[in-house]
A and B are shown apart, each in its own frame.
Chain A
Amino acid sequence: MKAAWRIALCLAAVLLTGASEPVLVPEVSQRDIQIQYGFTGAELLLFGAIVYPGGTPPARDSDIVVILKGPPQSIVLREKQKIAGIWINAASSEFRSAPGYYAVASSRPIEKIVDKRTAAIYEFGLDNLQLSPAGTIDPEEQRRFLAGLVDLNRREGLYKQQEGSVEILEGVLYQARLSIPASVPTGTYTAETFLVRDGQVLAAAVREIEVRKFGFELLIANVAEYRPFTYGVCAVLVSLALGWLGGVVFRKI
Chain B
Amino acid sequence: MSLADHIRTESARLAALCTACGECVRACPMVPYAPGVAESGPEAVAAGLVDVLRDGPGTEAARAWIAACTRSGVCTPACPERIDPAFMLRLATWRAKGALGAAPLIPVKEDPQLPARVKAFARLTMTEEEQRAWL
Are A and B physically bound partners? no
